[in-house]
Structure 1
Amino acid sequence: MRSLLMFFTLIHVFSAAALQVGAERYDQYLSLLKNQRVALVVNQTAQTQDGHLLDSLLAKGVDVRKVFAPEHGFRGNHDAGAKVDSSKDSKTGLPIVSLYGKNKKPTADVLEDIDIIVFDIQDVGVRFYTYISTMHYVMEAAAENEKQFIVLDRPNPNIAYVDGPILEPKFHSFVGMHPIPVLHGMTVGELARMINAEGWLNTSKELALTVIPVADYNANISYDLPIKPSPNLPNAQAIALYPSLCFFEATPVSVGRGTMRPFQVYGHDEVKLGEFSFTPQPTPGAASNPKLKGKVAYGKNLADAETQGLDLTWFISAYRAFDNKGEAFFTHAQFMDKLAGTDKLRLAIKSGQTFEEIKKSWQADLAKFKRRRQPYLLYKR
């Protein structure tokens, strides 16, 4: 049995590695960059078989003028929410312009010497993962300043799932900018097409958008990311659990930031949520000041747990444990509602509804969303 498992694992790894991501399909887009002044929106995940996309394009004679860096920075070594300063790339000397913090959108001055903007960042298919918010603002700036915008597409490790509540307009924020579910089941290229065509950009000008698809990709291909997309999503299990556990960020419960298992464990120091224990500690580049720092938290280890899509059973169980002790759980209710894209989820949990009842309430809206997104899909479902 073990040898059989190893065989299928090898097949899985090979099929993922064999995919040719958009950035590697030079024959599809290098001609578009010829004699153009180029800016890249990239981080550490913008890798090709030749190395980082920036280095690859420079080696091929592309006139890259600057780099725009999202949350976590160009090299992906900043904490979530940490201030990311503009700087210079130590290897190439090119200016790096931060798009996180106050300046989420490139200004006209910054884009004055640019003709084309290329976006190549690995996403995880979750609405509140802020790289898609960065993409939105850059798309908007590109349209306003009449610049071409190219998305070099990459697989979505959560593409199999369309789940969770649809964002309501009044809960619009940087952790949720579009009327899509928590798990939208789209690649960034497909999502860019939808954002553009649905009129979600806050501009009357049209965007010249080109998407370079992943070769021979479809939604049935399981894909383990070769590089962690951000400091606290170190492996496939964390990425799979991220949409379910991220809601704990609006509560006193730790999701393991500052441990070896971020987004694979959860717990609290005073309200015991399980027998597993962990102690968050400062971790450079991932959690400089983690929740429950230095305290022993008791909860669950989900490193081997099976989950499909959005699973809020752990979250609801934790809420009830806090409620039974008279302890506040939704300590950041406004942030919870922004993550959920609605206040209905929080209120449903407080009213005692089960996860099955809550999940049922999403289905009609999810069916409408699937029909709405259909024209923008690039890969077989």
Structure 2
Amino acid sequence: MLKKWSFVTLAIVLLFSSLSATVSSQGGGDANKEVAQKAEPFQLGVEVLLQEQLDEIRGKNVGLITNPTGVDQNLNSIVDLLHNHPDVNLVALYGPEHGVRGDAQAGEYVEFYIDEKTGLPVYSLYGETRKPTPDMLEDVDVLLFDIQDVGTRFYTYIYTMAYAMEAAAENDIEFIVLDRPNPLGGTKVQGPVLEPDYASFVGLYPIPLRHGMTVGELALLFNEEFEIGADLNVVEMNGWKRSMYYDDTPLHWVLPSPNMPTLDTALVYPGAALIEGTNVSEGRGTTKPFELIGAPFIDGTDLAEQLNALELPGVTFRAAYFTPMFSKHSGELSGGVQIHIDDVKTFDPVETGLAVVKTIHDMYPDDFQFRAENEAGISFFDNLIGNGWIREEISKGTSVAEMKERWQEDLRDFKQIRRNYLLYTVSVTDLKTLVDDYAERGEIANDRAVHSLQVHLTAVERFEGQALADKVVKHMTSFIQLLDYQKEQGFMSEQAHAALKGEAEALMGQW
């Protein structure tokens, strides 16, 4: 049956090659933004709360977990927005790693203090305790969480959230997550799933390095799959789509932490941060943390040549020399590379990061070292990657491709669980409607072109209803190829192609 369907589809595609109808492009502009604005204006969770769901906190004593990223689209601090709102009683603030105002470096403990601007108590969740104590929660009726995550398992804010959810459950306090975008988009899920024996504050739960979820979606998953049992509510964003990277939104980039200065940093972080588990500098103490990688014993030109020879997708390595102002190799001239992303959609940060670690390991066997093991035989590198076997395989000379293949089964299992907690989803019905919308606007050439697209989507719809992930992905891949063909033949406008492809990739990313 499938072979017959594929043959019919091929025949339709070949028929299109004889058509002369063309469609002119409707102009430039980012398709993700265009589609989002057409559907609904973009709003953060905090904006939805204050404009549409204020009753969730009205008349209650509110505790707020936040940092400098807790701002609205106009960069107004949520602390000030809540403190100055006549219908909100904000009674306490809680700061994660780096503090509420973001003035502490990585790993630096933060103590209790009084916020000068509001006079509110600020309790540290990265000091003597990482979980709010009953005394910290005294008189609090509802805890809000509003922090920008960066889409990577070992970024600690999501575990601050998880511990706070536990405390809220234990003290009968409501917990509300004000959702924010995943800067890396919501379609790609990459890297090994953490093994429980390697759990730590840089990886508390068995999720992949790049999880492809928002903080609100993670909160739902943590609460259910790991039996936290909090009275949880997620205030969803409006206008965010899974295919959107951070720069597809109207938001300014606010540093989530001192060493996350740009979106480029966040994009390389899921893999480049693995360098933290070695004696090589990950670029802390420079203006390009995690983009610059190096050490005094490395020849940057040689390393760049070796890495570029791997022909990794979407990335180029440039020889670089730098002197960190602090952290590893402080004050020492270090040779290495800068990671330059050429194509964000094909770039795999985890594969790239592992390739960098393995290549330096192989090139400099007498100088390169993983961080020392603890009493349990676990290196910090193991905590970051989420297991002990990858470090062993690197030492054995195993290829990155072989290592990548080994974690695929766990990744497929996680994706199946993940689907149950995704809030921002695309269905085949949505795609069919979008095809019809663009057809009505004259951006798809004719009825035959539309029919071909709808035939593909009808087949996918059947597999979607049966929850057959592999078949959904396979046939959506075919659908995307047809979109590319129609654009190349002039049957579809650039704008329609980009929008439909973005939504198609988002649907695939759910599976």
TM score, norm. by length of structure 2: 0.68
Residues 40 and 68 in structure 1, CA contact (< 8 A), matched pair in contact too: yes
Structure 2 counterpart of 1:242, one-letter code:
Y
Moved over 6 A (4+): 13-16
| Secondary structure of the structure 2 residue equivalent to 1:109 | coil
The answer for the alignment partner of 1:232 in structure 2 is 259
Task: Give the Å deviation of 1:348.
Answer: 1.5
The answer for the alignment partner of 2:485 in structure 1 is none
User: Are 1:210 and 2:233 matched, yes or no?
Assistant: yes
Q: How many residues align?
A: 364
Residues 32 and 243 in structure 2, CA contact (< 8 A), matched pair in contact too: no
Q: Deviations over 1:104-155 (max 9, x none)?
A: 0111111121000000000011110000010010000000000000000000
The answer for the alignment partner of 1:63 in structure 2 is 89
The answer for the alignment partner of 2:206 in structure 1 is 179
Counterpart-to-counterpart distance in 2, 1:193 and 1:331: 34
The partner residue of 2:60 within 36, 40, 45 is: 36
Counterpart-to-counterpart distance in 1, 2:264 and 2:78: 27
Residues 248 and 315 in structure 1, CA contact (< 8 A), matched pair in contact too: yes
Structure 1 counterpart of 2:45, one-letter code:
G
Alpha-carbon distance change, 9 to 379 in structure 1, aligned in 2, over 3 angstroms? closer
Q: Which moved more, 1:132-141 or 1:350-359?
A: 350-359
The answer for the alignment partner of 2:219 in structure 1 is 192
Counterpart-to-counterpart distance in 2, 1:125 and 1:235: 14
Unaligned runs of 5+ in 1: 282-288
Alpha-carbon distance change, 358 to 21 in structure 1, aligned in 2, over 3 angstroms? same
Residues 117 and 149 in structure 1, CA contact (< 8 A), matched pair in contact too: yes
Counterpart-to-counterpart distance in 2, 1:15 and 1:232: 30
| Secondary structure of the structure 2 residue equivalent to 1:360 | helix
Q: Deviations over 1:263-292 (max 9, x none)?
A: 1110110233444100111xxxxxxx3211
1:68-87 equivalences under 5 Å are: 68-87=94-113
User: Are 1:299 and 2:315 matched, yes or no?
Assistant: no
Alpha-carbon distance change, 8 to 265 in structure 1, aligned in 2, over 3 angstroms? farther
Counterpart-to-counterpart distance in 2, 1:39 and 1:80: 24
Task: Give the Å deviation of 1:304.
Answer: 4.7
Counterpart-to-counterpart distance in 1, 2:43 and 2:400: 39
The answer for the alignment partner of 1:371 in structure 2 is 416
The answer for the alignment partner of 1:222 in structure 2 is 245
Q: Deviations over 1:225-254 (max 9, x none)?
A: 521211111111110101111111111111
Counterpart-to-counterpart distance in 2, 1:271 and 1:49: 43
1:87-98 equivalences under 5 Å are: 87-98=113-124
Counterpart-to-counterpart distance in 1, 2:408 and 2:190: 8
Alpha-carbon distance change, 304 to 169 in structure 1, aligned in 2, over 3 angstroms? closer
Alpha-carbon distance change, 327 to 200 in structure 1, aligned in 2, over 3 angstroms? farther
| Secondary structure of the structure 2 residue equivalent to 1:48 | coil
Task: Give the Å deviation of 1:12.
Answer: 5.7
Counterpart-to-counterpart distance in 2, 1:70 and 1:199: 21
Counterpart-to-counterpart distance in 1, 2:135 and 2:268: 40
Task: Give the Å deviation of 1:82.
Answer: 0.8
Residues 322 and 329 in structure 1, CA contact (< 8 A), matched pair in contact too: no
Counterpart-to-counterpart distance in 2, 1:13 and 1:314: 37
Alpha-carbon distance change, 336 to 55 in structure 1, aligned in 2, over 3 angstroms? same
Task: Give the Å deviation of 1:27.
Answer: 3.5
RMSD: 2.2
TM score, norm. by length of structure 1: 0.90
Residues 163 and 184 in structure 1, CA contact (< 8 A), matched pair in contact too: yes
Task: Give the Å deviation of 1:15.
Answer: 6.5
Alpha-carbon distance change, 183 to 109 in structure 1, aligned in 2, over 3 angstroms? same
Task: Give the Å deviation of 1:10.
Answer: 10
Structure 2 counterpart of 1:151, one-letter code:
V
Structure 2 counterpart of 1:169, one-letter code:
P
Counterpart-to-counterpart distance in 1, 2:285 and 2:34: 29
The answer for the alignment partner of 1:276 in structure 2 is 320
Counterpart-to-counterpart distance in 2, 1:318 and 1:305: 22
The answer for the alignment partner of 1:362 in structure 2 is 407
Q: Which moved more, 1:268-277 or 1:255-264?
A: 268-277
Counterpart-to-counterpart distance in 2, 1:11 and 1:337: 37
Alpha-carbon distance change, 229 to 344 in structure 1, aligned in 2, over 3 angstroms? same
Task: Give the Å deviation of 1:97.
Answer: 0.4
Q: Percent identity?
A: 40
Q: Which moved more, 1:127-136 or 1:23-32?
A: 23-32
Counterpart-to-counterpart distance in 1, 2:363 and 2:208: 27
Task: Give the Å deviation of 1:305.
Answer: 5.0
1:40-189 equivalences under 5 Å are: 40-49=64-73, 51-61=76-86, 62-158=88-184, 159-189=186-216
The answer for the alignment partner of 1:20 in structure 2 is 43
Structure 1 counterpart of 2:63, one-letter code:
A
| Structure whose CA Rg is larger | 2
Structure 2 counterpart of 1:291, one-letter code:
K
Residues 161 and 309 in structure 1, CA contact (< 8 A), matched pair in contact too: no
**Greater helix proportion:** 2
1:251-330 equivalences under 5 Å are: 251-273=278-300, 274=303, 275-281=319-325, 289-304=326-341, 306=343, 307-310=347-350, 311=352, 312-323=354-365, 326-330=366-370
